[in-house]
Amino acid sequence: MMSKPVVLVTGASRGIGLAVVKSLLEEHGVRVVALARSATPALSQLVDAHPASLLAISCDVTDESAQVQAFGQAKDKFGPVLDGLILNAGTLDPLTRIGDPTVPLDAWRYHFDVNFFSLVSALKVALPALRSSPITGRVIFVSSGAATGSIPGWAPYNASKAAMNSLARTLAKEEPSIVSLAIAPGKVDTAMQATLRSTGDPHMDPSDLKIFLDDHRDGALVKPSDVGYVIGNLALRAPLTLSGSFVRYNDEHCKEFARK
């Protein structure tokens, strides 16, 4: 009998990442490794509810050695095969314009350490286990519409998500037996949206900020549980025909992966 698939999720303690972990456990019935900088009560509750199926590991994704150690713990718990890798860890900070002299270049560097270089280090350690998956290994990059956008004040975020998409496309060519897919989850009702509403004003154009304020006021933000289900489902079932693509969570490509 084939054992249950194993999926590793980064940035798993809150928001989209937590929703993905919960959906994978409770709706898809798989084993999950959850990497998070720090535990949250919600993640701890999931560990208590699913002790045999969920391994939560404290891990700073910018620390390459910590990622290697975390993957070693996952191997010890669930074995050497990894069926899905969901790269969700990310940061919005710093909100800044390119010419802002008050934001040091080190802030940009740290942003890229989190949003881009951590992806490279995760892939380096995960690829051998993904290649061994009997159901086809899959890598889901949690991207953003910012990858193809140009909202003023989001310069680091726009650039890092564009770099993420490029990495996903290249991985699809280099690893043709692994599905590599970047997905934009839309405006999700998470802490990132709250940060935009509270701190975006000095950096963003008023017309851009108004869109986010209006969507929140009108209840138009995406529920984390809805996009979490789609991402989890894609990590288990996305076809090779989608590899190298950049999709939105609710477009035609993803309809069959949404909760019925």
161 tagged catalytic: yes
Query: Pick from 68, 94, 66, 58: which is nearest to 196 by CA?
Result: 94
Name the phi and psi angles at 4, rounded to 5.
Answer: -65, 145
What is the DSSP pairing of strand 138-142 with strand 84-87? parallel
Among residues 53, 143, 144, 160, the one annotated as catalytic is 143
Token pair, residue 26, equals: 């409770």
Token pair, residue 253, equals: 């490509």
Token pair, residue 145, equals: 């519409």
In angstroms, the CA 228 to CA 30 distance is: 14
In angstroms, the CA 69 to CA 30 distance is: 22
110 tagged catalytic: no
C-alpha distance from residue 61 to each of 71, 101, 119, 142, 191 (Å): 12, 28, 8, 15, 19
Among residues 13, 161, 180, 229, the one annotated as catalytic is 161
157 tagged catalytic: yes
Among residues 22, 144, 157, 229, the one annotated as catalytic is 157
Ordered DSSP codes for 65-103: HHHHHHHHHHHHHH-S---EEEE-----PPPB-TT-TTS
Q: What amino acid positions are annotated as catalytic residues?
A: 143, 157, 161
